[in-house]
């Protein structure tokens, strides 16, 4: 379980740092200049959500085997965002390496971590059940 905790802690840095940067810098974190106030506000709001998702993943670390529902909900949110990003590719084109890496995190890394967490949780539940029989 130690390796999973390390992997989640490291992977959680991505949404925490990107979310915090978006909250602080707004669209300028991507080099965008001249956005109107509404677009800037929306970008910062979505960045705050991203920051919250990362913090949510980190919040599972102390009791990881017992946080399966939270982990799965956060994973579903991340995958949904990744699918939205993927759906935009045909119309908008390739968004560049940083966004491509985010897509891999959203559609590959996060689901794999969720599967790993589920296996740990199931194994832990089996051990706890065996203690009572």
pLDDT band, very low/low/confident/very high, at 1 (cuts 50, 70, 90)? confident
pLDDT digits (tens, 9 = 90+) for 76-100: 999 999 999 999 999 999 999 999 9
Domain boundaries, given as residue ranges, for the chain:
2-131
Instruction: Determine the Cα–Cα distance for residues 45 and 37; give it in Å rounded to an integer.
Output: 12
Instruction: Determine the Cα–Cα distance for residues 78 and 85; give it in Å rounded to an integer.
Output: 11
105, with CB counted inside 10 A (0-12, 13-18, 19+), is: middle
Question: Whose CA is closest to 125, among 81, 66, 47, 56?
Answer: 66
Contact 23, 44 (CB under 8 A): yes
Mean pLDDT for 35-42 is 94
């Amino acid at each position: 379980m130690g390796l999973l905790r390390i992997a989640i802690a490291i992977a959680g840095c991505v949404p925490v740092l990107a979310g915090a940067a978006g909250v602080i810098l707004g669209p300028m974190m991507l080099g965008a200049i001249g956005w109107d106030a509404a677009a800037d506000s929306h970008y910062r709001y979505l960045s705050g959500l991203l920051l919250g998702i990362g913090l949510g993943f980190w919040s599972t670390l102390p009791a990881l085997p017992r946080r399966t529902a939270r982990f799965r909900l956060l994973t579903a949110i991340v995958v949904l965002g990744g699918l939205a990003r993927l759906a935009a590719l045909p119309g908008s084109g390739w968004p560049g390496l940083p966004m491509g890496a985010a897509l891999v995190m959203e559609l590959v890394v996060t689901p794999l971590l969720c599967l790993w967490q589920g296996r740990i949780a199931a194994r832990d539940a089996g051990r706890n059940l065996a203690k009572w029989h």
